[in-house]
């Protein structure tokens, strides 16, 4: 389980007309962002291209002192651009600020390179 948890769609702290969900898959029956598949376990965190981290599934969201932050919904958008007025939640400001980031890492983290190299019996690049 991730340390970020709850029931619902994107946080109720977000504006009703938020545009942060424009790129999210939508459940046609509810019009809300689609949750993860029913057979999935735990949480899924998806960095959206040029946008927030979308957290879906069974998670708890806590501050650094361990106090619960009520996400209000089962799927939340967490700001990764640093410009949101409602951190840790995304408020859509990333679009106006021109935030740019890939969805997947452009290169492996150093620890991943070390693990990969040790599996192959070599040194990290
Ligand atoms: S990622 Fe959306 S406001 Fe920061």
CA of 28 to the centre of ligand 1 (A): 25
Pair 104, 85: CB distance under 8 Å: no
CA of 18 to the centre of ligand 1 (A): 11
Count up the domains in the chain and report the number.
Answer: 1
Q: What burial class does residue 37 get, using C-beta atoms within 10 Å of its C-beta: 0-12 exposed, 13-18 middle, 19+ buried?
A: exposed
Closest-lying ligand 1 atom to the alpha carbon of residue 95: 2
- The predicted structure's pLDDT at residue 112: 75
Tens of pLDDT, residue by residue, the chain (125 residues): 554 433 333 444 443 434 444 555 555 554 545 554 545 569 999 999 999 999 999 999 999 999 999 999 999 999 999 999 999 999 999 999 999 999 999 888 888 777 777 777 766 55
- The predicted structure's pLDDT at residue 113: 74
Helix locations, the chain, DSSP H: 93-97, 110-119
Domain that holds residue 29: 1-125
Which CATH number characterizes residue 87's domain?
A: 3.40.5.90
Entry pTM: 0.64
Closest CA to 19 of 82, 83, 78, 94: 94
């Amino acid at each position: 389980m991730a340390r970020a948890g709850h029931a619902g769609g994107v946080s109720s702290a977000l504006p009703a007309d938020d545009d942060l969900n424009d790129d999210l898959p939508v459940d046609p029956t509810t019009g809300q962002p689609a949750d993860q598949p029913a057979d999935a376990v735990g949480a899924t965190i998806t960095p959206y291209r040029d946008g927030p981290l979308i957290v879906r599934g069974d998670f708890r969201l806590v501050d650094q002192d361990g106090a619960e932050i009520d996400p209000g919904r089962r799927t939340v958008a967490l700001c990764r651009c640093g410009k949101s007025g409602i951190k840790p939640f995304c408020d859509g400001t990333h679009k106006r600020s021109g935030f740019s980031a890939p969805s997947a890492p452009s290169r492996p983290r150093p620890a991943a390179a070390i693990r990969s190299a040790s599996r192959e019996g070599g040194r990290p690049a």
